[in-house]
Structure 1
């Protein structure tokens, strides 16, 4: 073997001979096309078997020739720090926290591209033909500090490590290079194909305007918040961390996206494949998960308590009892925060505690349980922003309970003095989180609130509620032993006495179901502006009978509770909306076709007829001399709103879709067509029908529902 050949002239059986000098070698760095121009002029250092340094620079084609070094293999390293002036790299290298050791080699590798659209090295590099040795290498092979670089990928032609280890064991060459650097052999020409440092990141619009892209992308991110962070070890790591759990937050951002691999799972029980629209970016522009390198980053809250990725990016409040969970990460344009919805018994108890308390960060009052969760995570979010917010758009998303907490978080951040945070909020199936005074005070917060047809959770807490857990829970228990006092206590714990009613915040976007010509189901997303549609069955209008609200309509919605789940409901509907709007944009059609208008208009007319019938029924029950209801009849008001909604629907028959309606700030971006080509390469995204049907959920997708908030059924 080659190792044995050089060893024989350098050693006898047990003792080294005098070192010989005069050996030579040549090597080059190339990209996947076989060109070395991307690496032209890079500085390098070779360490020979006697520990001598040989410095130089690659020529314009990425080649180097080195002569007159001590015999035996040499170790190549390329650790020269970046000295250019590009603002991105300068900011990463000089930031006060987690300054990155970015090398010239890293910057060059970030400017190269994969020859084909996948994460693996190519197999047919033309530079391989003339090489004595050909290795597929990564930047992390050639530098000391690599925690901020992606995990190494599999490769067909990996560099050899045995000789390097043998040299270290025998005491030849600098011992610090036993774990990094590459071995090159004398009298040989070696070609090093450097893997491009490219990453994928979900494309997210930073514009205020609602767009179908954000609807779909942020639904996936909100669902990801239900996953664990997935770090091993999860606490007290000593030298390195990994993220093997798929799906998990760390696995997505580190093992997949940082390594230029597409991910499609955002729920541990998910069977359907939902791919985000990914844009290809230079590695340093990815969503960053901060590195764990105790040698470089020793800061911690207490002595011996090192910070690590899970502590920095993942909030999981198990100590104070709120059980709030969220993750945060960022890139150069976006800080992304996703808040988890109801997933545990602690969440259910918090959901039920709808007593109103002052929102001290602003004005108005908030749901006590949601407010406690927001306060629990507030310092975690503020600490992260203080370190890594450099003017990016802060985009917050959340589903169910997570949407309610996200609203309070967004408004709290917006009102931070002198912070100037620019917030964009998307919520899915969120309950009411605060009162009407809060809603007025937060009117300038950009909030797109998505509601799926008969999802029951957005109907709660009802405007009349002030659910005090200290009263209604004992009252519910007492009902079984003493029905009369128990019932009074239960009612007192539910009904608000004085103050302002609960009220939704944000611009509502509502999925309304339709059936396509082939019999499959889909939905139309629009802004009805009508509480009857929002609460799916006119619950608000019909709850004013007698002394206690009538909850029958809402209870019937529980049979359609699947419309609250993300992977079985919101994500498929958001995907269908993105596909429908893409097709409408391509065909230069209108937002609502004539057939869709007829279907939706008939549904609205049916609801209007139900309200009229209910009004007649109530009129028959009232005494003939009772005129008190005529002045302010909620049914009449709701009928009027339905009429206004039908007129708004009619206007959509003529509205044309523009690229910004579909893609937001990414409309017209240089990367868009390449990103869409990658997205459409997956069969799930190639819908042949004129308008996309909602993918039918598999059995597995229904196996892990997000638990309903308890105050949706009280």
Structure 2
């Protein structure tokens, strides 16, 4: 080739490049360690300046050299579809009926590589001419056509030249495309492409029936996340793409942070204390999936569908406006778990109209349910079933919720369990949930696995009272009149609260109770255990809601409505769940007992005091009994509660000598090969390195306790 020919520009006004051959270029795909073996044999496609397409394969080291192409830059893509040797997880994602994913061979290879840094941040590099002519830090989405299902681009120093790609696209090279695809390589140069690993983080969850401290903590965080918005932009009627810039939000948490291998801790806008979930490192395709939005691939994403257009928020997030129940929930999944988290009501007194504990038939099963909770359950049932119809493949369905959300979660879990021919396998954790249904429902739902978490000072689990059957149309006017004209107002109030027939409200599930204790150094902690009575949770309620016959004390009822700190996930449940996980971890490591001698002494004293108070109250009541009714005291509810308290003290005695197994702490994850690496990551955060055996509840920063979630008026009555 003549020297003058080499001096001609690559591009002119008339043609994109000189139509001469004789140039060469080489490139290599490598992982973050600089090793190309992970990409050995990978098929690629290039489009040169003459518009010619060339297909080839990398050698075993991830390297190839092209020669004699038309002079000028080439566009490189790796868009070969993954083909499974047999049925595997990728194959199921590619061929599922709803939102089949365009998974490439490059994506599968990148999911098998690892980060050099444990936090997933890119390693800063200074590349010399002797190593390569060009060095680019690329992502799978840079090299494939369809990228809506892939994570957002991470921060990088050595970016591929997007301006050159745009120039090539404007000149018509490569296949027709609505977006720019590929990386531009330059002639007579060697280029190294360092591909970011496709890994994600997902919260570890046990899928066993058995209660474990890991799920207690993890699901407390996931339940709290349900108070956040989904955070999608645009929230409705997206045109070509969506994003999730709002933090904290459900979409940002799952679609941005976890997909980008970052560790989010903020699961509530008011959360100031750092509480990190325990995360496991998984191939990107096994993350908690937020479904892609790609109108080119999926007809259901097209804006022409109007109100029927599907997009991530509509698929994953339920915010009931249609039925006016103010119910909010999110749902997402991976190959082992479908997670449903339901929010408690976050609105104020204007939602009193929803506070309706009138009992109605639970049509999907047996018994009767709280009408307000039942309406909310019915409002979101179709939303959940629609998601399960599309993405349920036999996973464990884990449902969680706080307060009102816990009550709805119970009805949803039982309704799903009874779905004909579905055989859904449900695991339910609720936090501070009120009674949601009657004793017949509870008996009929005995096969449902439900771990019910109660904070000692939380008044909500004590309501509705077993004797209630509130009708909002009656008791709300009665409550208003009560303060201006006590006699008729009180009668009207009582008529709206009291159930005259039918079965009593009754809790469902195995109660796990946080018992507060004061540690020797003056800090607070709590011991989680399973008492044999409801007096512990009732004791807190009775301080705010005292019963004189069937009439609540007015002043204390108002006091209960405004004292919400003990009911808050942020202030109470999350810190106590964290302390429990740390205590149980330390007990497991030291082969100690679940309850120390000092803790046993503190709790036993509290239980003894409750017994004494109940006996004294029983004596006072006995003085007012008619003579012909005396002698039957052991049959009354108070006497039965005294007996149950004795059973609780006996049960506490057994905990004094109980030693934990790994499955008590981590459930099914106890046998996971990546448990230790996940815990190592968790312990890198200084907030999780509490050394004392009796892990104290983390103190809030000096700027206050943060604003707790609003007390659920809906779940009080």
- TM-score category by the smaller chain? over 0.9
TM-superposed CA distance for 1:587, in Å, is 0.1
Distance in 2, matches of 1:294 and 1:435, equals 47
**1:77 to 2:80 alignment:** no
- When residues 16 and 367 of structure 1 are mapped into structure 2, their CA distance, relative to the original with a 3 A threshold, is closer
Q: Is the 8 A contact 1:26 1:64 kept in 2?
A: yes
Distance in 2, matches of 1:576 and 1:589, equals 16
Q: Deviations over 1:17-51 (max 9, x none)?
A: 64111211110000011110000000001100111
Distance in 2, matches of 1:183 and 1:709, equals 57
What residue in structure 2 maps to residue 564 of structure 1? 567
Matched residue SS, 1:403: helix
Q: Is the 8 A contact 2:458 2:540 kept in 1?
A: no
Q: Could you state the TM-score of these two structures normalised by the residue count of structure 2?
A: 0.94
Q: Is the 8 A contact 1:454 1:560 kept in 2?
A: no
Q: Could you state the TM-score of these two structures normalised by the residue count of structure 1?
A: 0.95
Q: 1:664-703 maps to which residues of 2 (within 5 A)?
A: 664-698=667-701, 702-703=705-706
Distance in 2, matches of 1:51 and 1:384, equals 45
Q: 1:637 aligns with which of 633, 637, 640?
A: 640
Structure 1 residues without counterparts, runs of 5 or longer = none
Q: Is the 8 A contact 1:271 1:700 kept in 2?
A: no
Q: Is the 8 A contact 1:315 1:325 kept in 2?
A: yes
Comparing 485-494 with 627-636, which one deviates more in the overlay? Answer: 627-636
**1:22 to 2:22 alignment:** yes
Q: 1:252-291 maps to which residues of 2 (within 5 A)?
A: 252-291=253-292
Q: Is the 8 A contact 1:351 1:709 kept in 2?
A: no
Matched residue SS, 1:51: coil
What residue in structure 2 maps to residue 152 of structure 1? 153
Distance in 1, matches of 2:129 and 2:653, equals 64
TM-superposed CA distance for 1:7, in Å, is 8.9
What residue in structure 2 maps to residue 303 of structure 1? 305
What residue in structure 2 maps to residue 341 of structure 1? 344
What residue in structure 1 maps to residue 397 of structure 2? 394
Q: 1:648-659 maps to which residues of 2 (within 5 A)?
A: 648-659=651-662
Distance in 1, matches of 2:314 and 2:417, equals 24
Q: 1:80-159 maps to which residues of 2 (within 5 A)?
A: 80-84=80-84, 85=86, 87-124=88-125, 130-159=131-160
Comparing 240-249 with 557-566, which one deviates more in the overlay? Answer: 557-566
**1:55 to 2:55 alignment:** yes
**1:616 to 2:619 alignment:** yes
Q: Deviations over 1:405-459 (max 9, x none)?
A: 0000000000000000000000000000000000000000000000001100001
TM-superposed CA distance for 1:623, in Å, is 5.5
Matched residue SS, 2:496: helix
- When residues 257 and 511 of structure 1 are mapped into structure 2, their CA distance, relative to the original with a 3 A threshold, is same
- When residues 61 and 701 of structure 1 are mapped into structure 2, their CA distance, relative to the original with a 3 A threshold, is farther
Q: Is the 8 A contact 2:348 2:710 kept in 1?
A: no
Q: Deviations over 1:572-626 (max 9, x none)?
A: 0000000000000000011111111111111111111111222222233446565
Q: Deviations over 1:203-260 (max 9, x none)?
A: 0100000000000000000000000000000000000000000000000001100010
TM-superposed CA distance for 1:395, in Å, is 0.2
Structure 2 residues without counterparts, runs of 5 or longer = none
Q: 1:470 aligns with which of 470, 473, 486?
A: 473
Q: Is the 8 A contact 1:77 1:142 kept in 2?
A: yes
Matched residue SS, 1:648: helix
Matched residue SS, 1:524: strand
Report how many aligned residue pairs link the two structures. Answer: 710
Q: Is the 8 A contact 2:474 2:495 kept in 1?
A: yes
**1:248 to 2:267 alignment:** no
Q: Deviations over 1:542-601 (max 9, x none)?
A: 967535366888777668631100011000000000000000000001111111111111
- When residues 455 and 470 of structure 1 are mapped into structure 2, their CA distance, relative to the original with a 3 A threshold, is same
TM-superposed CA distance for 1:705, in Å, is 2.1
- When residues 177 and 25 of structure 1 are mapped into structure 2, their CA distance, relative to the original with a 3 A threshold, is farther
Q: Is the 8 A contact 2:561 2:711 kept in 1?
A: no
- When residues 16 and 115 of structure 1 are mapped into structure 2, their CA distance, relative to the original with a 3 A threshold, is closer
Q: 1:306-705 maps to which residues of 2 (within 5 A)?
A: 306-345=309-348, 348-349=351-352, 352-479=355-482, 483-537=486-540, 539=542, 545-546=548-549, 548=551, 561-622=564-625, 626-627=629-630, 630=633, 632-698=635-701, 702-705=705-708
What residue in structure 2 maps to residue 41 of structure 1? 41
Distance in 2, matches of 1:322 and 1:35, equals 56
Q: Is the 8 A contact 2:494 2:550 kept in 1?
A: no
Q: Deviations over 1:269-324 (max 9, x none)?
A: 11111000000000000000000000001126983443100000001111221111
Distance in 2, matches of 1:86 and 1:37, equals 25
TM-superposed CA distance for 1:344, in Å, is 1.5
Q: Is the 8 A contact 1:164 1:178 kept in 2?
A: no
Distance in 2, matches of 1:81 and 1:458, equals 53
Matched residue SS, 2:346: coil
Distance in 2, matches of 1:475 and 1:57, equals 80
Q: Is the 8 A contact 1:350 1:369 kept in 2?
A: no
- When residues 526 and 172 of structure 1 are mapped into structure 2, their CA distance, relative to the original with a 3 A threshold, is closer
Distance in 1, matches of 2:58 and 2:339, equals 40
Distance in 2, matches of 1:186 and 1:651, equals 77
TM-superposed CA distance for 1:470, in Å, is 1.2
Let me know the Cα RMSD of the aligned residues: 2.4
Q: Is the 8 A contact 2:8 2:18 kept in 1?
A: no
TM-superposed CA distance for 1:14, in Å, is 6.6
Matched residue SS, 1:344: coil
Q: Is the 8 A contact 2:135 2:158 kept in 1?
A: yes
Q: Is the 8 A contact 1:452 1:512 kept in 2?
A: yes
- When residues 179 and 713 of structure 1 are mapped into structure 2, their CA distance, relative to the original with a 3 A threshold, is closer
Q: Deviations over 1:325-346 (max 9, x none)?
A: 1000000000000000021248
Q: Is the 8 A contact 1:219 1:571 kept in 2?
A: yes
Distance in 1, matches of 2:63 and 2:125, equals 20
- When residues 344 and 559 of structure 1 are mapped into structure 2, their CA distance, relative to the original with a 3 A threshold, is closer
Q: Is the 8 A contact 1:30 1:38 kept in 2?
A: yes
Q: Is the 8 A contact 1:225 1:249 kept in 2?
A: yes
TM-superposed CA distance for 1:486, in Å, is 3.0
Q: Is the 8 A contact 1:461 1:711 kept in 2?
A: no
